Structure 1
């Protein structure tokens, strides 16, 4: 097939992408100095920082890194959750000409040591004592690390220092070398290494993805030229900054100039939205699934007239939405009903998210179309995008004024998408990685000689260039009867049916039927327990109860009624715990490591077929 480029925007800007990420930040500081750049929680309140203030801090920290001897492309690690200091550290590394190596705070000590060692990090930012413990325990295996800077941990004044101490080193260095940060930033070529992000693979060691300055500048500029966001917007950012999706949102901020409220605590997302009142937010589908489940189960618990009104509101809302998206007129009675339900129901749903959201951006995994339609009926637009670490996260995205639900949108301006052999999605453009760190054979297997990136995802392009992802090629399996099954499609359907589910994983490769492992969401099940006489019972006792078994069985039956005969789930089991990042069964971006789960529960899966 021929490559499909974005049809909506002139992509000539790509020819002028000579700027680096450090200059993009310094130019933004100059352009937007007195305006708000960031806000972050401090105790029970939020503290605001202007672009000028952020620029001054980054200036001092970058000079501090230069005083420690950081050279062009030398790696500087950041082992921390998402917070304001993460942003400062990353921008300082960029302005000092180094390359940020990201480490999730949940990464175990062994993998942390491997990542910092494989990347040959010379300096590491460590969030707190937990992260410091991983470094000190394996100091002998980190010969290149000359200094550790901690955000909140205990400094020893020698190998480990605090952020203030780094800034003081910067002050002294600037006194002797005025203008050094600007000089360093201007000397960085667009094709210099900016970031090493280690992918959390399901098997084997993580692979370091080498992303250049041009990749991040391109990502932000490609969003800016589409007029999706501007200085009047306010972002709420909770996504892991160690993940490429988070870094894309930072690059978009530098290009567009909006302010960002930062708090990486996942359990605070809904509360924070009500306080911050953002105009947009990026998130993984799991966040929308949890919000949907929480709202639906809360209304079910109300019962009576309120529940009936709620259900009827969404019946009307979804019907009106379908008519409008099909370009059909909405009957007068339906319009009147919709206006009433918008005041009684939909406005309250929107208020839970702050009341000002123009759109959400969903990425890192597929969003269930029915859940997307449910939010849309309430007046909340979720724009799906697509990409991977190997292409700096952003490859395609729907536009607020031009979107197709169920697709991940067209290619970003200046980038290309095509469908290769076996319906594999292929990407090409300024965002594509330079390769895997120290892995030439893997790089050659992933990148073609003419610059196309093999994604491993299966998809299709429509006549307008909108991409639809149908799953991972390696996840597709064939039953012993010769029928193909696409697990993501079944799993997504179940999540739209059952509001209590957390994960639903189907198996059956070379087996005579499909089976499933199920985990239930702890928050949703706590609410269920209150309504079903099990208050105070442990999560394990709740999910093992006959009542829950019966309830889940009814949802499985409902799912099977929507499937082809060979796809139906014949046997299933509820696990006595949810999958977590800490257990290694979820990636930090909340995607399931299917191979790990299958290996951990192989005996359970085998028992289905014995």
Structure 2
């Protein structure tokens, strides 16, 4: 019997093992087809590593990447890893002043980027240690001091780089990346993640997800976020998957239809958009087809809980088989007919959203994690989803609920610390190694964990009643696809009010179906839209306790962009920023509520 090889000690070793095992298989793809085989990937990594070394990149030195989701990101990141450097990504939506702070705090001397980002990087790099801006594409302008193309940098390198050398000079306790996380507070913190921690994370999640070299997935989330680093880049290096890079998220539907991935993870808003698109298409379909689809979904919903447990009776199996031909066509329409792992995360997912996809025959499961944990720590295994929970700890993770309800996690994939912030690290990770997550959680009777809300966001009204705004907001969003974001306010107040931000695509589709003139939907004071939102709030209130109910709401016409003042890049609401910006409106809502009594 062939002995099982020891696990790789670094991501560099993992990459080289995958290259040796699958040299001619596709590694990185674009929508147009294969971009690089594993052998070609290795050749590019060696060439770029030589170029970066010639430009002065050394072991332990941060290297900034400001790139869209394209094969060159993976090449540049992997090349930096083989030098023992610390590649980290910048969110493409950040303004120059925030990029400046990140470059200054890390003391990065080189940024790998695209020509489209040169103007903001020129402004951001002023006064920092940055010496080179290296573009992966051509620059259509007169050469500038400190700006060169990756091709030029590779041509200048005097000697080749041997990938095998990294196995001796890069160790498991070296940093693999920095993840800048500000959560909803706005102040960025650089999370330090080692090769050892990330490989431990991949090992634990692998025991649940069972990813193999036959799996395919799409990289479309920002590479600066831990979800894409863990779920796309590092999983690809270790498991030899086929990874399609998508540099334009507006083409996600097209990418899903072409790739038909076996693994797909996204934030709840993406899943909600898919649901809205599918329901909109059914609403406009032939009445006979619509009735057939609605009946199939009802059958799927009825049998979903027993389906995932594998305990269907023969009669139930026969009924479900009759519906599955229609459900399979609906799955094909959203490009998920081959999907075996479907994950939602980064923000709370309404139970009804998960139940819809379960009815469709997709085992959508909620996962919970943090940058500080190198990825996920809690997940329900595929085939055992339980809406409303985030499952159980992945292998290697321990959890504990503190006396005040805060979720504590201890795991070998815990971060090394916050870069340059030892006091903050000590406040976040206690002497026993427990990470204080800031999330309130509870363990239910089946042993699954339910995330209640952020500890600091809990609402305590003037009557002393405690409420989780995330739950209320989830019920509001579940009441209608027209709501993209809901913010409930009520701490220290006698009752709750809500700010509602419409989903522009959903509103446009709703207006088309209901025959409203194209100019009318965005009049947030228009009778039709106002009535639709009022009805949704009424439906939500019927499912909320008396204390949780929304007395007054306002539909906000402003568009909240990912990475903007109101939202993080993963679409989490920055509550402090929202309540600050709309403070006058909130006071107006409370005056209206008092007058209506």
TM-score (normalised: structure 1): 0.90
Deviates more, 1:371-380 or 1:457-466: 457-466
Question: Which residue of 310, 319, 333 maps to 2:293?
Answer: 310
Structure 2 CA distance for partners of 1:540 and 1:564, relative to 1, 3 Å: same
Where do residues 122-201 of structure 1 align in structure 2 (5 Å cutoff)? Answer: 122-129=109-116, 131-142=117-128, 144-152=129-137, 154=139, 156=143, 158-170=145-157, 172-174=158-160, 179=162, 181-201=163-183
Structure 2 CA distance for partners of 1:552 and 1:298, relative to 1, 3 Å: farther
The aligned residue for residue 455 of structure 1 is 437
Question: Which residue of 555, 577, 598 maps to 2:558?
Answer: 577
Q: Deviations over 1:161-185 (max 9, x none)?
A: 1121222234x221xxx63x43234
Question: Which residue of 21, 37, 40 maps to 2:11?
Answer: 21
CA contact (8 A) 1:504 1:517 kept: yes
Q: Deviations over 1:25-62 (max 9, x none)?
A: 12221222111111013xxx223321110011011111
The aligned residue for residue 580 of structure 2 is 599
**Following TM superposition, by how much is the alpha carbon of 1:420 offset from its aligned partner in structure 2, in angstroms?**
1.9
Question: Which residue of 565, 570, 578 maps to 1:589?
Answer: 570
CA contact (8 A) 1:324 1:330 kept: no
SS of match in other structure, 2:439: strand
Matched, 1:368 2:353: no
CA contact (8 A) 1:37 1:260 kept: yes
Determine the C-alpha separation between the residues in 2 that align with 1:139 and 1:357: 42
Determine the C-alpha separation between the residues in 2 that align with 1:354 and 1:204: 35
Structure 2: give runs of 5+ residues left out of the alignment.
592-597
Determine the C-alpha separation between the residues in 2 that align with 1:253 and 1:326: 30
**Following TM superposition, by how much is the alpha carbon of 1:270 offset from its aligned partner in structure 2, in angstroms?**
1.2
The aligned residue for residue 476 of structure 1 is 458
The aligned residue for residue 483 of structure 2 is 501
Matched, 1:237 2:219: yes
Determine the C-alpha separation between the residues in 2 that align with 1:102 and 1:75: 10
The aligned residue for residue 110 of structure 1 is 97
Deviates more, 1:291-300 or 1:345-354: 345-354
RMSD of Structure 2 on Structure 1 (CA): 2.3
Question: Which residue of 537, 548, 556 maps to 1:567?
Answer: 548
CA contact (8 A) 1:424 1:455 kept: yes
**Following TM superposition, by how much is the alpha carbon of 1:498 offset from its aligned partner in structure 2, in angstroms?**
0.5
Matched, 1:91 2:72: no
Q: Which has the higher contact order (CA 8 A, sep 6+)?
A: 1
Question: Which residue of 478, 482, 493 maps to 1:511?
Answer: 493
Determine the C-alpha separation between the residues in 1 that align with 2:384 and 2:318: 27
**Following TM superposition, by how much is the alpha carbon of 1:220 offset from its aligned partner in structure 2, in angstroms?**
2.1
The aligned residue for residue 40 of structure 1 is 30
Question: Which residue of 195, 205, 218 maps to 2:187?
Answer: 205
SS of match in other structure, 2:210: coil
CA contact (8 A) 2:363 2:385 kept: no
Structure 2 CA distance for partners of 1:560 and 1:465, relative to 1, 3 Å: closer
The aligned residue for residue 8 of structure 1 is none
**Following TM superposition, by how much is the alpha carbon of 1:341 offset from its aligned partner in structure 2, in angstroms?**
2.9
Determine the C-alpha separation between the residues in 2 that align with 1:136 and 1:538: 42
**Following TM superposition, by how much is the alpha carbon of 1:17 offset from its aligned partner in structure 2, in angstroms?**
6.4
Question: Which residue of 364, 373, 379 maps to 1:391?
Answer: 373
Determine the C-alpha separation between the residues in 2 that align with 1:330 and 1:562: 32
TM-score (normalised: structure 2): 0.92
Determine the C-alpha separation between the residues in 1 that align with 2:463 and 2:206: 50
Where do residues 203-602 of structure 1 align in structure 2 (5 Å cutoff)? Answer: 203-226=185-208, 228-249=210-231, 250-302=233-285, 304-324=287-307, 329-330=312-313, 332=315, 337-462=319-444, 465-537=447-519, 540-541=522-523, 543-581=524-562, 583-602=564-583
**Following TM superposition, by how much is the alpha carbon of 1:315 offset from its aligned partner in structure 2, in angstroms?**
2.2
Structure 2 CA distance for partners of 1:403 and 1:316, relative to 1, 3 Å: closer
Determine the C-alpha separation between the residues in 2 that align with 1:490 and 1:227: 31
The aligned residue for residue 10 of structure 1 is none
CA contact (8 A) 2:192 2:416 kept: yes
Structure 2 CA distance for partners of 1:462 and 1:257, relative to 1, 3 Å: farther
Determine the C-alpha separation between the residues in 2 that align with 1:325 and 1:83: 36
Determine the C-alpha separation between the residues in 1 that align with 2:206 and 2:472: 36
Determine the C-alpha separation between the residues in 2 that align with 1:218 and 1:329: 36
Determine the C-alpha separation between the residues in 2 that align with 1:64 and 1:71: 12
Structure 2 CA distance for partners of 1:301 and 1:72, relative to 1, 3 Å: same
